[in-house]
A and B are shown apart, each in its own frame.
Chain A
Amino acid sequence: MENQSKIAVLYHLFYEDTSEMICEELDPLLTLNATYLFNICSDTPDKKQISARLKSKFPSCIIIDTSNKGKDIGAKLALIYLFLQSELQANYLLFLHDKKSLQALKSVTWKKDLLKIISPENLAEVLNTFDNNENCGIVATKEYIIEEPLEDGKFTGINGNILSNLLLNYNINLRSYLFVAGTMFWARAKPLRDFFTQHDPLKIRAELEDGNVLDNFSGTNTHSWERLLSWIITSKGFSIKGI
């Protein structure tokens, strides 16, 4: 990587029992001298202990706590706002959260797969991918790069109508319908910084649903923004690389 100090990790914690595991998960990144920004959900008990553990492992980290709005997507928008307001310098952002998806059958596999992007054996590949390919905007776990269904130029998925409106309102011209499901990925910082400097992340966050919203039964702003976080980058001509 060009400059090892130019990575910012944006991590959202929702569960009360994951901080120890998170500290272990992030071990491989310690050599990269990254900046760590954590968001702890306001609803999470034991925030004092969680916060102390994170500070002890990452002494220069910045911790915020925000309400449970838009799940991890709302948290990541708040962290992007913190990143911008603090004028932190980073070429690459790493989005992570303590995903459990307790309602889902395959939740354990999901988390394990999504974390491939920070496993010691894959980390070098991730960093080389960005270095060697200027067009690469996102690096994510291959199996989670999926395509939003489309028929005759119209979205057919459950979030279709919301997505169409958002793309129109934010003037996003899609070049690809691929996005990273699960919102754990590495991203080039510039396209995100450009977009969110123009569009206040907290205003977007205000439009997201409260609580633990799911899109199993109807479309949601939250899950639509899950797609947009990828599309903001790919609409600027960058590609998604799977590992």
Chain B
Amino acid sequence: MPVFKPYYTIKGSLLAGLINSGKPVPGNWRLNILLESENDLNPALFKFIGGINREFVFSITDTLLKRTREFPHLLGKLYLLTSMTRSLTGKRNILVFSEADGNPSVDTGAIKSFFEAQGSRDINFPLLQVKNPNKKDNSTWRLLTPGFRDSDSSTIIKETALTGLNTVIYFKEPVNDLSALEQIDRELNQSDKQLVQNEAGNGIKEREEFEMERDLWRKRALLYQDFLMLSKSVQQKEYYDVIDWYHKEYEALPVWYKRLGHVIKVLMGKRKLKSLFNKKPVKNTGNR
């Protein structure tokens, strides 16, 4: 039976510290890497992400998002990150974290243009508002902001059970000790009765994956159809190239020259003398 697993938010800077110190990231919980500055997008992060098997997403602050217009080199790094973090069946997401009150303006134009130029048009930007976590946009992503020190796993379980599919946990206080986080996750896993993902949520995910795969297979079938048509055109071109060559290089030669050629063939043993006097055209049976 599928169990509910939230994504725990860890700041990129904390992750970088762990990676640089050579310490492993404990536990096997789902990870949301929060990027707050361009320095968070560093080689160690790419190597770390490339090497892990756990499920993860990444998010950027709305402040960093604004800087993508000033610093275009960030765009390539974000593109690389999304190409590494995609669930391989789901859509691409860049979660946007905002600490602003009210309705923050989120300018995703620069990222969208860059991604489109790379051929990726299926990028989504679910907005997660730290000060207003209950506010829902059209995505399936939800934010929970429990207290870290005073919260116990039962509080988180209770809240996450209500939210459904993709829940991101962002503790109110800065998380500096991942072993404490690991403890919470362990307790969550032990409380399996309450961790059972609601069936509706699970159904949505399965349907989304199924539909995406079905679309890919449909596209693939069309592609193979295209290949058949294309191979016909390519082979037709090759055929006419050979015919053209024959007409230009051989057929244009004078008759006496061609006849001399046949005599030479006989002398070389490639043709029988008798065949020169045979008036019936020689049929090409295709057997060689």
B233 neighbours in A (Cβ, 8 Å): 216
With known contacts A42-B120, A67-B118, A212-B223, A62–B84 Cβ distance under 8 A:
yes
- How far does the alpha carbon of A74 sit from the alpha carbon of B88 in the complex, in Å? 19
B76, A202: Cβ atoms under 8 Å?
yes
Q: What's the minimum C-beta distance from B84 to chain A, rounded to whole angstroms?
A: 5
Whether, in the assembled complex, B3 has its beta carbon less than 8 Å from a beta carbon of chain A, the answer is no
B220, A43: Cβ atoms under 8 Å?
yes
- How far does the alpha carbon of A104 sit from the alpha carbon of B88 in the complex, in Å? 30
- How far does the alpha carbon of A55 sit from the alpha carbon of B121 in the complex, in Å? 27
Contact digits for A75-86, partner B, Cβ 8 Å, 1 yes 0 no: 000100110011
Segment 59-117 of A: residues with Cβ below 8 Å from B: 60-69, 74, 78, 81-82, 85-88, 102-105
Q: What's the minimum C-beta distance from A70 to chain B, rounded to whole angstroms?
A: 9
- How far does the alpha carbon of A60 sit from the alpha carbon of B53 in the complex, in Å? 10
Whether, in the assembled complex, B191 has its beta carbon less than 8 Å from a beta carbon of chain A, the answer is no
Which one, B51, B73, B80, B120, contacts A67 given CB within 8 A? Answer: B120
- How far does the alpha carbon of A32 sit from the alpha carbon of B43 in the complex, in Å? 24
Q: What's the minimum C-beta distance from B159 to chain A, rounded to whole angstroms?
A: 30
With known contacts A62-B51, A66-B118, A82-B46, A45–B216 Cβ distance under 8 A:
yes
A217 neighbours in B (Cβ, 8 Å): 237
Q: Which of B53, B231, B238 is the most central at the interface, judged by chain A CB atoms within 10 Å of its CB? A: B231
Task: List the B residue with the shortest CB-CB distance to A107.
Answer: B231
B237, A216: Cβ atoms under 8 Å?
yes
- B interface size (C-beta, 8 A): 36
With known contacts A44-B216, A64-B83, A81-B80, A206–B117 Cβ distance under 8 A:
yes
Whether, in the assembled complex, A143 has its beta carbon less than 8 Å from a beta carbon of chain B, the answer is no
With known contacts A45-B217, A85-B43, A103-B234, A66–B83 Cβ distance under 8 A:
yes
B258 neighbours in A (Cβ, 8 Å): none
Whether, in the assembled complex, A142 has its beta carbon less than 8 Å from a beta carbon of chain B, the answer is no
B217 neighbours in A (Cβ, 8 Å): 45
A150 neighbours in B (Cβ, 8 Å): none
Which one, A40, A85, A103, A104, contacts B46 given CB within 8 A? Answer: A85
A131 neighbours in B (Cβ, 8 Å): none
Whether, in the assembled complex, B171 has its beta carbon less than 8 Å from a beta carbon of chain A, the answer is no
- How far does the alpha carbon of A16 sit from the alpha carbon of B227 in the complex, in Å? 15
Whether, in the assembled complex, B20 has its beta carbon less than 8 Å from a beta carbon of chain A, the answer is no
- How far does the alpha carbon of A69 sit from the alpha carbon of B118 in the complex, in Å? 7
Whether, in the assembled complex, B119 has its beta carbon less than 8 Å from a beta carbon of chain A, the answer is yes
Whether, in the assembled complex, B86 has its beta carbon less than 8 Å from a beta carbon of chain A, the answer is yes
A55, B53: Cβ atoms under 8 Å?
yes
Whether, in the assembled complex, A223 has its beta carbon less than 8 Å from a beta carbon of chain B, the answer is no
Query: What does DSSP make chain B's interface, helix, strand, loop or mixed?
Result: helix
Q: What's the minimum C-beta distance from B19 to chain A, rounded to whole angstroms?
A: 12
Task: List the B residue with the shortest CB-CB distance to A206.
Answer: B117
B223 neighbours in A (Cβ, 8 Å): 43, 212
B230 neighbours in A (Cβ, 8 Å): 103, 214
B89, A48: Cβ atoms under 8 Å?
yes
With known contacts A104-B234, A205-B118, A212-B223, A45–B213 Cβ distance under 8 A:
yes
Q: What's the minimum C-beta distance from A11 to chain B, rounded to whole angstroms?
A: 14
- How far does the alpha carbon of A79 sit from the alpha carbon of B235 in the complex, in Å? 33
Whether, in the assembled complex, A200 has its beta carbon less than 8 Å from a beta carbon of chain B, the answer is yes
- How far does the alpha carbon of A44 sit from the alpha carbon of B223 in the complex, in Å? 11
Contact digits for B27-67, partner A, Cβ 8 Å, 1 yes 0 no: 00000000000000001001100110100000000000000
Contact digits for B76-101, partner A, Cβ 8 Å, 1 yes 0 no: 11011001101011000000000000
With known contacts A47-B88, A85-B80, A67–B43 Cβ distance under 8 A:
no
B50, A86: Cβ atoms under 8 Å?
yes
A48 neighbours in B (Cβ, 8 Å): 88-89
Q: Which of A60, A64, A68, A212 is the most central at the interface, judged by chain B CB atoms within 10 Å of its CB? A: A64
Whether, in the assembled complex, A51 has its beta carbon less than 8 Å from a beta carbon of chain B, the answer is yes
Whether, in the assembled complex, A210 has its beta carbon less than 8 Å from a beta carbon of chain B, the answer is yes
- How far does the alpha carbon of A86 sit from the alpha carbon of B42 in the complex, in Å? 8
- How far does the alpha carbon of A200 sit from the alpha carbon of B76 in the complex, in Å? 9
Contact digits for B209-235, partner A, Cβ 8 Å, 1 yes 0 no: 000010011011001101100110111
On B, residues with C-beta under 8 Å from A are 43, 46-47, 50-51, 53, 73, 76-77, 79-80, 83-84, 86, 88-89, 117-120, 213, 216-217, 219-220, 223-224, 226-227, 230-231, 233-235, 237-238
7 A–B contacts, CB within 8 A, in A order: A51-B88, A60-B51, A62-B50, A62-B51, A214-B230, A214-B234, A217-B237
- Besides A43-B223, A67-B119, A82-B46, 18 new A-B residue pairs in contact (Cβ under 8 A), listed by A number: A43-B216, A45-B217, A61-B50, A65-B88, A66-B120, A74-B119, A78-B80, A81-B76, A85-B77, A85-B80, A86-B47, A87-B47, A104-B231, A200-B73, A202-B76, A206-B117, A216-B233, A216-B237
